[in-house]
Amino acid sequence: MKIYVQDAHANKQINTIASFVEDGLSDSEITEKLLNIGFRNLARGDGSWSASDIKGLREQFKLNIVEGFNVVSQKDNVVFNKTSEVSLVDIKMPFSSMVIFMVKWAIASIPAIVILLLIGALVSTYATVILGLLVNR
C-alpha cells in the first residue's frame, strides 16, 4: 500500500480510489463505489462524496494511472508529432503474472524454433548436394 498521507484511514481511502482509477472507472463511478462500500468523505462534515471530490484527489495525489502507465489527463497539454519517439522506462507487473507471461512466451517460441530447424535442414541438405556434385566431378 502506497503512503500518500500520515492518517491511516485517509491513506486507505486514497489507495482505494487509486485502485478504482487504475481500473479505469470514471469519477462518478468511483463516487458510487465509495458510497456503496461505506467510505465517508473525511474532508466533508456530512461524509458525502461528489465527482469533483474524486477529481480533486486524483489531481492532488496524481492518481492518473492506468495499467501501470502514466496517462496525461489534459489533452490540451499533449502535442502529437508523427516523428515522435517513445521510450518505455518501466512496467508495473506482479511477479506471478510475469512468470506466466514468460512461460507463454517460451511455449509460443516452439513453432518458430521448429520452422528455423526445418529451414536449416533444407539449407544443409541443399549445401550437401551441391558440394557432393562439385566433389564428384
Q: Each residue of 112-127: pLDDT tens digit?
A: 999 999 999 999 999 9
pLDDT band at 97 (very low <50, low <70, confident <90, very high): very high
Q: Which of the listed ranges 7-11, 16-20, 29-33, 111-115 does the model predict with the highest average pLDDT?
A: 111-115
Over the Cα atoms of the chain, what is R_g? 28
Taking residues 2-26, report their average pLDDT. 84
Could you tell me the pTM of the whole model?
0.46
What integer pLDDT is reported at residue 80 of this predicted model?
52
What is the full DSSP assignment across 38-50? T---TTSTT----
Contact 77, 54 (CB under 8 A): no
pLDDT for the residue numbered 78: 52
Angle at CA of residue 61, ends 55 and 65, nearest 5°? 80
Residues whose CB is less than 8 angstroms from the CB of residue 27 and which lie 6 or more positions away in sequence, other chains included: 51, 52, 54, 55, 58
Distances from the Cα of 3 to the Cα of 21, 24, 43, 46, 49, angstroms: 16, 21, 18, 25, 22
Q: Which residue would you say has higher pLDDT here, 77 or 93?
A: 93
